[in-house]
Amino acid sequence: MNGGEIIRRPPFGQHSGVGERGSETQRRILAAALQVFGEVGFHNARVELITQAADCSRPSFYQYFSSKDDLFSYLADQLGVAMIGLIEQLEPVAPDAAGLAVLADWIDDFLTLCGQYAPVFAAFHSASRHHEQLAQGSRTMGDRLDAALLNELSRTSDAPLDTRVAGAIVSGVVGILSRCGTISDRLLGPRSRPRLVRGLSLVIHRVFCGPLPGVNLLDPVRVRLPKPRPTASSIDRPVPDLGTRGGLTRQRLLEAGAKVLPERGFYDSRVDDIVKTANLSHGSFYRYFDSKDALFRVLAAGASTQLIDHLDSLHINDSGEAVRKWLKSWMEAYRDNGGVISAWQEIHTADHEMQQMSDQVAGAVLHRLVTILRKRTFGDPMVDGLALLALLERMPYSVYTIEHLAESDAIEAMLIFVQRGFFGETADQR
């Protein structure tokens, strides 16, 4: 569809092609959809909201799109084509200052694209969960993206890499850039873009070309350690003394919620699903939780506390084997809590309380990572900490939630990111 003639859906008129007026109508609908998805998220978006924002009628909408899902699929396809085009424009990244500048310009363009399509990035997994055609299109587009960037990695990497591990590195690059693009303003501030581009280009240049003193290993940026933010556990309400039987019932509901969330996602999970899985009544649920959100906060508290505490066992001078062992244990911890972790990545900014919880957890993780990275003799601990946070989120997500990567390949790719990109060690040092 993209890049060709705008086509009306049948049976709207004898001639399916449209002129400039029809093209303008479709452009307004697409722009309005991005606005609405950005304001209320995919789950709460309705065709009526989109047509109001586009200042067009429902019949006009249905001339071009069969549903909200069809429209979202079109936007996702536009994004994928734009990303592939951007990757194919990437010039060879040489192991010198000129190569670093090329990479920085490309990352700046990539982040701009992420900003333009931020609602699509944020809502994609929720939108594709029950739509196999969209999910399959995503997998196909993901394979094309990986192939395009993998070709670039093969031209610039200073060491031979297993093809599957190289593919996982590519997924890590895309994951870091897309995730940092969505959370950097909230965690680093709205004026952080130049600093973000500079820091990310240095990290990825080290991954591609190896650590190079005077090129991508520069003097450390002195930063104030960000104030530790309260985690989800600190905003959860105290648990009253429920007695043995009440405690067991509450635990059954939590276990049911942990099972339902990865299967249905945050927005599609219902109290009905949870009580059915727990084989309990609605009355039992509301004796312990005010809402689904309240149950989710308890689950998120336990998951985030376990993962945040796990960061304390990662050390800047760890050997490659020690880091590999740590990454395996991180993946295990994520797998055990993956349904909850994946679900909160679906939370939309319009859900202010839930978004606040998500940002508090991310802020607590960033605080721990900056503490670790401040001990280096190079780099910007804040930007590198944000990039490492994104890597630790997105790579397990790609393994366990969307099943795009094998666990062993993801671990080896993450090891290269950590050792080269964040710890600044060469292949010999690994």
Single-letter amino acid, residue 273? D
CA distance 127 to 73: 9
Buried b (16+ CB within 10 A) or exposed e, 125-146: bbbbbebeebbebbeebbeebb
- The residue among 210 and 243 whose pLDDT is bigger is 210
CA distance 270 to 276: 10
The confidence band for 224, taking pLDDT boundaries of 50, 70 and 90, is confident
pLDDT on residue 21: 63
pLDDT on residue 281: 92
pLDDT on residue 2: 46
pLDDT on residue 122: 73
Q: Are residues 395 and 300 in the same domain?
A: no
pLDDT on residue 239: 57
Q: Are residues 79 and 218 in the same domain?
A: yes
Confidence check: pLDDT of 120 > 70: yes
Q: Does residue 218 come out as left (phi exceeding 0), alpha (psi in the -120 to 50 range) or beta?
A: beta
pLDDT on residue 211: 94
The confidence band for 85, taking pLDDT boundaries of 50, 70 and 90, is confident
- The residue among 405 and 189 whose pLDDT is bigger is 405
Distance linking the first and last C-alpha atoms of the chain: 47
The confidence band for 230, taking pLDDT boundaries of 50, 70 and 90, is low
Confidence check: pLDDT of 19 > 80: no
Q: Are residues 287 and 399 in the same domain?
A: no
pLDDT on residue 14: 40
Here the CATH number for the domain that contains residue 322 is: 1.10.357.10
Range of the domain at 215: 75-222+380-430
Q: Are residues 238 and 360 in the same domain?
A: yes
pLDDT in tens, 357-375: 777 888 888 999 999 999 9
Here the CATH number for the domain that contains residue 4 is: 1.10.10.60
pLDDT on residue 199: 97
Domain boundary among 45, 66, 87: 66
Q: Are residues 96 and 117 in the same domain?
A: yes
Q: Are residues 261 and 217 in the same domain?
A: no
Mean pLDDT for 149-154 is: 62
Place of tokens 């390949």: 409
pLDDT on residue 305: 85
* pTM metric for this prediction: 0.84
pLDDT on residue 226: 61
The confidence band for 418, taking pLDDT boundaries of 50, 70 and 90, is very high
Please compute, for residue 320, the number of CA atoms within 13 A of its CA located in the half-sphere on the CB side.
Answer: 14
Q: Phi and psi (nearest 5°) for 84?
A: -65, -45
Confidence check: pLDDT of 69 > 70: yes
Confidence check: pLDDT of 233 > 50: no
pLDDT on residue 15: 39
Q: Are residues 232 and 308 in the same domain?
A: yes
Mean pLDDT for 334-339 is: 76
CA angle 86, 90, 96 (to 5 degrees): 150
Confidence check: pLDDT of 74 > 50: yes
pLDDT on residue 76: 85
Q: How many domains does the chain have?
A: 3
Confidence check: pLDDT of 159 > 70: no
Domain boundary among 328, 355, 373: 373
The conformation of residue 398, written as its DSSP 8-state character, comes to I
Domain boundary among 373, 404, 419: 373
Lowest mean pLDDT among 24-28, 72-76, 121-125: 121-125
The confidence band for 12, taking pLDDT boundaries of 50, 70 and 90, is very low
Q: Are residues 317 and 364 in the same domain?
A: yes
Q: Are residues 54 and 103 in the same domain?
A: no
Mean pLDDT for 227-231 is: 57
Q: Are residues 57 and 85 in the same domain?
A: no
Mean confidence (pLDDT) of the chain = 82
User: 7 forms bridges with which residues in the sheet?
Assistant: 17
Q: Phi and psi (nearest 5°) for 325?
A: -65, -40
Q: Are residues 191 and 242 in the same domain?
A: no
Q: Are residues 272 and 342 in the same domain?
A: yes
The confidence band for 227, taking pLDDT boundaries of 50, 70 and 90, is low
pLDDT in tens, 197-209: 999 999 999 998 8
Single-letter amino acid, residue 202? L
